[in-house]
Amino acid sequence: MLNTHRKAAGFPTAKTFATWDETVSSIPAPTQQALRTLKWVHRRENVVVCGPPGAGKTFFLKALGQHVVEAGMRVAWFRLEDLGALIRAHRSDDSVTRVVAWVLRTDLIVIKDIGLLPVGADATEGLCPLVDAPYEKRSIAVSSNLRPAAFDELIPKTLATATVDRLLHHAHICQTSGESIRLTKAIAGKGVTPMP
C-alpha cells in the first residue's frame, strides 16, 4: 500500500527525513520537529515554506510528504506548472471539477515552486480551486520563492487576495534564509562522489 500511495503522490524524487539534515536548514529545529508529528495534517492546517532558491524548501516538503505517506495517508504533489497542464488537459471535456474532486480525496496537497516561473492563466485557474476547495477540509503545503503577500505579482490581485487569505488562515509559515545548500555543498566538493 505504501508503494501505491508513493506512486500516486507523484513525488519527483524519494527525499526522506533519513537523508535530511535539520542543522543546515534555517527552519528552527523545534518547528521542524513539530511538523514531523503530522498533527497539523490531522487538524487540516497548512504549511507555507518560503525563501530563496536552494534553502531546502522542496527537500523539506518532499520529506514531509513521504512521512505523510508512511503514516498511511495520501498525498498529491504538484509543481505550479503541472496544475496548468492538468487544467488544459481536462478543460476540453469539462472534467476539471472531477480532477479537483480526485485531488481532494488526498490528505495533503503539495504545491511547489510558486514564484519560480511566470504563472499562466491555466496555472492560476488550477491554483485557486486547489486552495479554495480544500479549505478547512484538507491540508495544503506550499513552497514559494515569494512571500504569500507577493502572490499578487503572479496572479490577479483579487484572486491572489482570496487564495492567500484561505491558504494562510490555518497555516504554519516557515521562512527560510541563507545561502543555497546545494551551492555550498558543490563548492565544498560534497555534491559528487570523488573520482579515484
**Predicted local confidence at residue 118, as pLDDT:** 66
In the chain, the number of structural domains is 1
Cα torsion 115, 118, 123, 128: sign = positive
Residue 36 within any structural domain of the chain? yes
Give the pLDDT score at 47. Answer: 96
Kind of pairing between the strands at 108-114 and 75-79: parallel
Whether 85 is in a domain gets the answer yes
Q: What's residue 112's pLDDT?
A: 87
Residue 107 lies in a domain: yes
- The pLDDT value recorded for residue 50 is 93
What integer pLDDT is reported at residue 1 of this predicted model?
A: 64
Q: What is the pLDDT of residue 158?
A: 81
Residue 130 lies in a domain: yes
**CA 182, 187, 188, 193 torsion-angle sign:** positive
Give domain status of residue 193, yes or no: no
Per the structure, the complete domain to which residue 167 belongs is given by 2-187
Q: Is residue 154 part of a domain?
A: yes
49 inside domain: yes
pLDDT in tens, the chain (196 residues): 667 767 676 776 678 888 888 888 899 999 999 999 999 999 999 999 998 888 889 899 999 999 999 999 999 988 877 777 777 777 767 677 777 788 888 999 998 888 776 667 767 767 777 788 888 999 999 998 888 878 877 777 887 888 888 989 999 999 998 777 767 767 777 766 766 6
Cell of 87: 487544467
Q: How far apart are CA 123 and CA 114, in angstroms?
A: 10
Per-residue confidence (pLDDT) for residue 83, from 0 to 100:
75
136 φ/ψ sector (left φ>0, alpha ψ -120 to 50, else beta):
left
Q: Which of 128, 123, 105 is nearest to 113 (CA)?
A: 123
Q: Are 130 and 100 in contact (CB under 8 A)?
A: yes
CA distance 177 to 119: 24
- What pLDDT score was predicted for residue 108? 95
Phi, psi at 144, each rounded to 5°: -150, 145
CA 8-13-17 angle, 5° bins? 100
Domain at 90, CATH number: 3.40.50.300
What is the pLDDT at residue 134?
85
Nearest CA among 88, 66, 87 for reference residue 77: 66
Burial of 72 (0-12, 13-18, 19+ CB in 10 A): exposed
Question: Does 60 fall in a domain?
Answer: yes
Q: Whole-prediction pTM value?
A: 0.82
Distance separating alpha carbons of residues 31 and 11, to the nearest angstrom: 23
Kindly state the DSSP code that residue 93 receives in the 8-state scheme.
Answer: T
Candidates 153, 147, 10, 159; CA nearest to 85 is 10
Q: Are 138 and 167 in contact (CB under 8 A)?
A: no
